[in-house]
Each structure stands twice: as C-alpha cells, then as structure tokens.
Structure 1
Amino acid sequence: MDIDISMDPQLLQSDKIVLQNLLRDIETTTKPETSSQPGTFRDHDDLSSMRALDELHDEVTVFTNWDQKDLPAGKGSIADVLNAYIPWAQGIVRNPVDVVFLTHIILYLCTSVPSAAFLYYHFTWLQAVLHVLMQLSYCGSFTLMLHNHIHNNGLLKKQYAWFDNTWPYILEPLMGHTWDSYYYHHVKHHHVEGNGPEDLSSTIRYQRDELTHFLMYVGRFIALVWIELPLYFLRKHKTALALKSGANEMGSYLFIYLMAHWQFYPTLFVLIIPLILMRIGLMVGNYGQHALVDESDPASDFRSSITLIDVPSNRHCFNDGWHTSHHLNPLRHWKDHPRAFLKAKQDYTNGRALVFQNIDYLMMTYRILAKDYRYLANCLVPIGDQIGMSKQELADMLRSKTRRFTEEEIQEKFYKGQKMQRQAKEKDQLYISKL
C-alpha cells in the first residue's frame, strides 16, 4: 500500500512524535526487510517515542501559535515581558503548564467584552461585522478551553475560584453559548450516553453521508435541545439537573430577548448570530467526531469515535483531535493524550480504531457528506490490519461505517450488550465476594 502522509510543520511536537511512530510501524510491517527483528524494533521505537513525549510533558504552553522553544529568550522587551508574565501566570493557573488558558481568558476579556460594549454604545455596521468575524476566530479555542474548564471543575487555583467561576458567565453569551448548557449537555449527558441511542446528539439513527439526514440532525438540536435535555434528565430521575439545565437555558433566552428589546442590532451581532453559529458549529463538529461508527460494535469507544492528528484540532483547540482518548478518560489532561495513545496503542489496534492526519472535524463532516471516501482513505493513518488494505479497501471500509442503524440493530447491539455486561459484572462481583 502506498503511504502518502505529509508532516505539517505546524503540528505540535507531540503530534509529530506519535505520527512518526505510526509511520515507522507501517514501514516495518510493509517492509520487514528494513529490520531483522520488526517486533523488537517496534518495542524499542515505542520506548524512544515515549521518552521523547515525557521530555515534552512539563513544557509550558503560553500561546497556541507558538511552542515554548519558539518564544524569545534572553534579553529584550518581549523576552522581559514573557519572563515576568509566565511565572506570574503559573501562580494563578491550577496546572503550571496551562499558562495558555490565562492568556486566552485575558485576550477575550480585553477584546470581546470592550468590542461588544462599544457596539451598544455606538453601533456601526462595519464594527458589527468585524466583531462577528473576531468571535468566529475565537470560538474554537474558547469552546475547548471551556471544555477543559467543565471537565475539571475549573482551570485556576482555589484562591482564584471567584474569578474562575465568573469569567464563563461573562464570555459564554458573547461566544454563542447559553449559560452552563455546554456543561449539562456535554458532561452530564453526552459522556454518560457516549453516542448511544439515548444520546440527544447521537449519530447512529442517521445515514451519515446523506445531506438530508445531516440537516435533520443539526435542525433537531437547534430547535429542540432546550426542551429535550431537561426531559432527558427527568426520564433519568435527575430532577435537579432537569431544573438547572432548563432554568439556565430559559434564563439565557430571556437575557437575549431583553437585550434585543433594548437594542436589537447590537444584540443581533453580539448575542444572536454567535449563538446560531456556535450551535451549528458544535453539531458539525460532533457529527465529524461520531459519523464513523463500527457496524459490529458501535458501543465501543474505540469504534464510535476517531483520532485526528492535525493542526486546527490539536494546536489551536487543546488536543481536541484525540477524541477517542478523551472518551476513554474524560478527566485526562489535554497534554496527556499523545502519551496515553502511545501507551494504549495495542488497544487501539485491537479495537480497530481510526486515526486520521491532516484533516479536522469540519472537513471530516464535509468529506463524508460529499461521499469522498478516497480522500478520507488518503488521510487515514492505518494501524493493525488496516496496514495491509488498499486505498479502495480502506475507502469501502470507511463507507460502511456511515450506515444508519435500524431500531432492531440498536436493541441488539446496545441494550442486549449492556445487559450481558451487567450480568458479567454481577458474576465477577459474586466471585470476588466469595473469595
């Protein structure tokens, strides 16, 4: 099989290490003559790659555009500012490597908030359009920073909890999020259901390479999530979550309505357009994350989500590309995903996981809807049995993973499987209690 993988120079160093490791796996599998003992070579290479990742583990991230090695060192005005800023910021953030989070909070508070306020003070169409474009450029990084915030109950040290609990309520509406909705839907719902049949953002009931199904998927979320999420919590006997999620959603809509009643045009550009764009973006992204679902084991985290090694997802969105790793451990620190992948590489191989490079979730969704499976096959980094497959075989394999599941299949592959898992767990617990 011809491997056509280009190494983007903007890739994070950790991504380069993992991708190079996988490429060497492909080479030793397809060309065993390159090593007299391919298995031993791979083991040694894995250890070398892990050591290289360990050396990067404590590297401080200050900006998403530049790595620590790219920052000015020594003397000079910029270096002096950084030398003062980094230790000051490390005294505020919970994890000393996460200076980048404080950088982004400061950036948004110093640009988005004044820009929005000035639109209400003196509205002009030019600034309104520029404001939306600025927010659009921020929304990916902000959402994934917020993603880290909601999974870890904050980003800053305890003595700054008041600020840590305040900035999301200021910035969320400006970025298109309703108050706390991301937390309730993503943490309390999506990660509980895991793209299963009761996940409101599940893709399994849709023919995932059909545009009409995609539009129904996005349209349902935009039109009905405000009522479906509280009803879901009520079905699960989680009344408190139902009341909180419903109250926050309705409170956000009431706030937008009152602001629009006061000044419509500023509110249109500051709150309404970002909300619409964010809701669409969240669903387009989630669709790309969960469009390729294994037909035989759709409940497996390895087979219902994907891994991307790319610049937009990982450099600018805090390793969002390592989506399978995130589902395996939602509390894992964002910088630990490449190491976790390498440690569990055999599990990914056995689980028939899908790893792609040089493509983000938005392009993933587009290529699936365009049925351009050859393009996706070219982006696939084959592991395990995939290495021996031709490009056409890979394309056909990917096509098979977009087929919608019937209700009979859902009952068989999800509910029956869950029942068997519960029974096996009960037997294990009984055996342990006897011991």
Structure 2
Amino acid sequence: MRTLAGMGLVTMVAVAHWTLGAFHPWLFVLSLLLSLTVSVMHHNHAHRPLWRMRALNAATDVWFTLFQGHPGYVFQTMHVDNHHRYHNGPDDVTRTDRFRAGNNLWGLLIHPIEFAIAARPHIAARVMASFRNDPRDFACIVAHYALLVGIDVLALVIDWKAALYVVLFPQLAAMFWLLASNYLQHAHARGDSEFDHSRNFLGLINPLFFNIGYHTAHHHSPDVHWSELPAVHASLVSRMSPALNEPSFAWYLIRVFLLSLVARRFRSQPTEPANLDSDS
C-alpha cells in the first residue's frame, strides 16, 4: 500500500506540473526528490514483485519504465546475477573502483556514466540472448523502449519546455539515483568482506524511502521484503564495521562530497578490517 501511495504521489505531481502550463520550482524540486522514491520502489519491485497477478506486475513494469526512464529487465542481469553475487568485489562488473579508487564528489558524479559503460556489453548480450531464445521476452523489451521513447517524443512535440522539467529531468534524476546509489552504498567499503561490503544509512532515509539504508541486510537477504530489513540489520550489526553505519544520509552527503572539498578531515577513508569475516 505504501508503494502504491508513492506511485500515486509521483504521478499526481507530474500531472499537476504539466497541467499548470508553467514551471513551478517547488513542484520541480519535489519531482526530483521523488525520483529517488521511484528508483527505490523499482528496485524493490524487481526483487519482490508488487502483485501476485502477472498482468498487474506487467502494468506496474510499464509505470516504472516511464518514470524511471529505462525498462527494468536489466535488474536481473546487472543487479541480481552480477551485483548481488559479487557484492562490489573484484568480479563485480559495476564495482565502484573499476575505473578509479576513492570516494569523492567527482567519483559520485561520474559513476553513473562509468556504470553504463561497464554494463553496456552485458545488457546487449542479454537482449541478444532474448532475441534468439525468447521472442516474447524480446518483444516485451522492444515494446517498453518504444513506449518510453514515444511518450518522451510526444511530450517534446506538445510542449518541449514542459517535457524537460516534467518528464525528462525527473527521468534523468531517477536514473542518476539508481546508478549512483551503487557508489553511495559501496565506495570505500570492503568488497572482499562478508559483512563490510556495504555502507548503511540510518535515520530518516529509511521511513521515507522504504528502508533503502539497510544495504548490508538487503545483500544478506535479498528476497526479504523491504519492511523486514530493520530486523535483519539488527541481527547483523554486531558483525559489521561501525564505520559503515552512517547515522544520517544527508550529513554523509554534506560531509563526504562537499565539506571534504575544503577540509581534509572530512574526506572518506577505506574501511579497515574490523571483524573476522568468514571470507577474509
């Protein structure tokens, strides 16, 4: 029900902004904030589909394609089969240190592009395999791309300015959050560790954004519903490095990506081994 409410709010903001016929700064800012909600809900839906009925899940997939700015078929290839298997370790195709080490503002901003570059051949292989072996799945992928491009182009034709601030920029923001979250959750964590491979964010981000902050718990139990992640986190927290449990997402962003530009003491440091992991 909370996911449905979130989807409804995102839709209402977009419709209201379009029908106003003019740029409204507060609605625009709200749509950018809600783009994080879109990415979180899409991620959760990919792991645990919202409905028991296939048709309703297919309809929900269409909604996410339009508001995420990309079809969700890539989750299985890049997220489940790759990221959840290797936890940002050396074999993870989209690991945060693939192109450069560190954890800073430039790394955060460029990571979505680097993620896309690393993922492109694997996504292309996934599409080609679907084309050869599963025509129905391939047709679904093509239909999602066609619908997405068609809606974006139609919006640009009707009102190109409104299309930018109502449709395209929120889609880009949703894609940024989807890809940049990999960097936020794993940069300077330990990809070789069983319990210190992820950074966790506590505080308001969790009630506001579907417990997305409990990332170690999510990796440990990826099929668990998002509402159960706090309990999983509590069962694991004693085995994690305290340095990877951030009390505030907002303060982390300010400290690591802004204050660090002017004060060395705020710069992120690689996580030191703190526990005797089973794999370390």
Normalised by the length of structure 2, the TM-score is 0.74
CA displacement at 1:341 relative to structure 2: 2.8
Q: Partner amino acid for 2:22?
A: W
Deviations 1:294-335 (A, max 9, x none): 3xxx322412212222112x1111111110010111111222
Over the aligned positions, Cα root-mean-square deviation in angstroms equals 3.7
Change beyond 3 A, Cα 1:172–1:304: same
1:240 counterpart = 2:130: yes
1:102 counterpart = 2:4: yes
Separation in 1, partners of 2:58, 2:247: 36
**Residue in structure 2 matched with residue 323 of structure 1 by the alignment:** 215
Contact 2:94 2:118 in 1 (8 A): no
Deviations 1:89-129 (A, max 9, x none): xxxxxxxxxx32233334344x146336xx3xx672334x4
Name segments (4+ residues, structure 1) moved above 6 Å. none
**Residue in structure 2 matched with residue 11 of structure 1 by the alignment:** none
Change beyond 3 A, Cα 1:169–1:269: same
**Residue in structure 1 matched with residue 174 of structure 2 by the alignment:** 278
Contact 1:301 1:324 in 2 (8 A): no
Change beyond 3 A, Cα 1:276–1:113: closer
Q: Which runs of 5+ in 2 are unaligned?
A: 273-278
1:400 counterpart = 2:267: no
Change beyond 3 A, Cα 1:182–1:357: same
Partner SS for 1:166: helix
Deviations 1:54-103 (A, max 9, x none): xxxxxxxxxxxxxxxxxxxxxxxxxxxxxxxxxxxxxxxxxxxxx32233
Separation in 1, partners of 2:125, 2:83: 11
Partner SS for 2:201: strand
**Residue in structure 2 matched with residue 186 of structure 1 by the alignment:** 79
Separation in 2, partners of 1:307, 1:168: 28
Contact 2:200 2:213 in 1 (8 A): yes
**Residue in structure 1 matched with residue 187 of structure 2 by the alignment:** 291
Superposed counterparts of 1:39-78, under 5 Å: none
CA displacement at 1:270 relative to structure 2: 2.8
Superposed counterparts of 1:118-197, under 5 Å: 119=18, 124-127=21-24, 129-152=25-48, 154-158=49-53, 161-174=54-67, 176-180=68-72, 183-184=75-76, 185-197=78-90
Separation in 1, partners of 2:143, 2:90: 25
Normalised by the length of structure 1, the TM-score is 0.51
Change beyond 3 A, Cα 1:163–1:323: same
How many residue pairs were aligned?
263
Partner SS for 2:212: coil
Separation in 1, partners of 2:33, 2:271: 32
Change beyond 3 A, Cα 1:210–1:341: closer
Separation in 2, partners of 1:106, 1:215: 29
**Residue in structure 2 matched with residue 358 of structure 1 by the alignment:** 247
Q: Partner amino acid for 1:400?
A: P
Separation in 2, partners of 1:177, 1:265: 18
**Residue in structure 1 matched with residue 153 of structure 2 by the alignment:** 258
Deviations 1:14-50 (A, max 9, x none): xxxxxxxxxxxxxxxxxxxxxxxxxxxxxxxxxxxxx
**Residue in structure 1 matched with residue 196 of structure 2 by the alignment:** 303
**Residue in structure 2 matched with residue 199 of structure 1 by the alignment:** 92
Superposed counterparts of 1:329-368, under 5 Å: 329-346=221-238, 348-349=239-240, 352=241, 354-360=243-249, 363-368=251-256
Q: Partner amino acid for 2:247?
A: N
**Residue in structure 2 matched with residue 114 of structure 1 by the alignment:** 15
Separation in 2, partners of 1:193, 1:149: 21
Deviations 1:183-242 (A, max 9, x none): 3443344323421345343112322234444444233346x47834424648xxx82299
Separation in 2, partners of 1:327, 1:340: 10
Deviations 1:321-374 (A, max 9, x none): 11001011111122222222333344x15xx464424321x6535533454675
Contact 2:38 2:174 in 1 (8 A): no
Separation in 1, partners of 2:264, 2:227: 31
Q: Which runs of 5+ in 1 are unaligned?
A: 1-98, 377-397, 403-417, 422-435
Separation in 2, partners of 1:327, 1:113: 33
The higher-RCO structure (CA 8 Å, 6+ apart) is 2
If you compute each CA radius of gyration, which structure gives the higher value, 1 or 2?
A: 1
Q: Partner amino acid for 1:165?
A: A
Q: Partner amino acid for 2:16?
A: S
**Residue in structure 1 matched with residue 112 of structure 2 by the alignment:** 218
CA displacement at 1:135 relative to structure 2: 1.7
CA displacement at 1:274 relative to structure 2: 1.3
Separation in 2, partners of 1:332, 1:149: 12
Separation in 1, partners of 2:29, 2:120: 30
